[in-house]
A and B are shown apart, each in its own frame.
Chain A
């Protein structure tokens, strides 16, 4: 999934788009090191030393990883659980919609 997300971020780098993570690795150094090795350029909240049991995922009731929410430019949740090509289509659709609004 990381290669897919890397290419999405790369493809949309000039668009009004952001991939925001909630990283749930329990070891911050490991996350940093792996992010560097895997070319993860997007910004994430770090979920803390409890890893998947950390405060953000606990509040949002996340029980499976990855969990995806796609928000439009007004912050409204428009899609959940979309992966791969479906994620791309959801994002492209919302970017087109945003352009029409303007």
Chain B
């Protein structure tokens, strides 16, 4: 690499952050950055869908021209998750507090990058081990541990189990520990799962852990369906039992 291009590479993150908006608080940064990423991902999906629906693309597929297919798809720029996550980590350092932990967690989940994930975990271990906001980060500790690798992932989960004062945070760490060893040592995994369920009492993680039992005991043909309480796309609360008196098809679905 020539010196000039090296300088360009080094300056690139600065240029990106230089252009970025400034934030008044970590909470605001979280709202804006996550909304921006959602928007960019939607636009990316739409732009790719437009290409795959085009006649030129279909023709290239039909004649098996992989190079042309890739060239067309590559004209759509991917959302720049990495620089958004880098920005989130900087803002988190500036503000501190539980909102900053939320930002760090968001960055660790979306970065999908070892270096940034390690940076987040370093910060968490140094400053935030007793934050209740670690829940959001630990919920996705499967993703985080994967990017941390064997040298950091298991140690981080264990530290959370040992040091967090919050039951739900410890519950998530125990849960992912159990998933990680499930194949190797099913008995030890089951013990961890049960411990996780105890710590998760009253939280949906406890439901998730007990799902198999729930299915066997409550979801068989001939049983009255358990009620579901939630909200629709407009945020209006409703219940499955509101539809008693009608035949109901309950359909777990999505567009993806």
For A50-65 the 0/1 string (1 means CB < 8 A from B) is: 1110011111111001
B225 close to A18 (CB less than 8 A): no
- The answer to whether A98 and B42 have CB atoms under 8 Å apart is no
B220:A77 contact, CB within 8 angstroms: yes
| Minimum Cβ distance to chain B for residue A88 (Å) | 10
CA distance A101 to B174 in the complex (A): 51
Q: Is the CB of B243 within 8 A of A18?
A: yes
A30 to B245 CA separation, bound complex (whole angstroms): 32
B residues within 8 A CB of A66? 251-253
**Cross-chain pair count, CB within 8 angstroms:** 171
The answer to whether residues A45 and B224 also contact, given A29-B38, A58-B207 and a CB cut-off of 8 A, is no
> A16, A22, A38, A66: which has the most chain B beta carbons within 10 Å?
A22
Closest chain A residue to B42, Cβ basis: A30
Task: Tell me whether A46 and B243 are in contact (CB under 8 A).
Answer: no
Query: Given the interface contacts A35-B233, A76-B222, does A71 sit within 8 Å of B208 by beta carbon?
Result: no
Count residues of chain B with CB under 8 A from any CB of chain A: 41
Contact among A34, A38, A65, A91 with B247 in the assembled complex (CB-CB below 8 Å): A91
Whether B214 pairs with A87 at a CB distance below 8 angstroms is no
Size band of the interface chain A makes with B: 35 or more
Which residues of chain B come closer than 8 Å to A74, judged between CB atoms?
Answer: 224, 244
Q: For the complex, what is the distance from the CA of A98 to the CA of B208, rounded to whole Å?
A: 34
| Inter-chain contacts of A2 with B (CB < 8 A) | 253
B221 & A65 in contact (Cβ 8 Å cutoff) = no
A76 with B223, Cβ < 8 A, contacts A29-B42, A60-B214, A61-B214 known: yes
B6 at the interface (CB under 8 A from A): no
Chain B residues 232 to 248 lying within 8 A of chain A, measured CB to CB, are: 232-233, 238, 240-241, 243-248
B250 touches A46 (CB 8 A): no
* Cβ proximity bits A69-100 to B, threshold 8 Å, 1 near / 0 not: 11111111111100000010001001100100
Cα of A52 to Cα of B255 in the assembled complex, Å = 11
Report the nearest B residue to A67, measured CB to CB. B252
- Which residues from A are CB-within-8-Å of B2? none
Provide the bound-state CA to CA distance between A70 and B220, in Å: 11
Which B residues lie at the A interface, using CB under 8 A?
38, 41-42, 45, 139, 204, 207-208, 211-212, 214-215, 219-225, 228, 230-233, 238, 240-241, 243-256
Can you list 20 contacts pairing A with B, beta carbon distance less than 8 Å? A15-B247, A17-B246, A20-B240, A22-B253, A25-B254, A25-B255, A31-B254, A33-B42, A45-B231, A55-B207, A56-B252, A71-B250, A73-B247, A74-B224, A75-B224, A75-B240, A75-B248, A77-B223, A77-B224, A78-B221
| Partner-B contacts on A (CB < 8 A) | 1-2, 5, 8, 15-25, 27-35, 38, 43-47, 50-52, 55-62, 65-80, 87, 91, 94-95, 98
- 9 A-B pairs with the lowest CB-CB distances in the bound complex, closest first: A61-B211, A45-B230, A58-B208, A59-B207, A24-B254, A55-B204, A67-B252, A34-B255, A61-B215
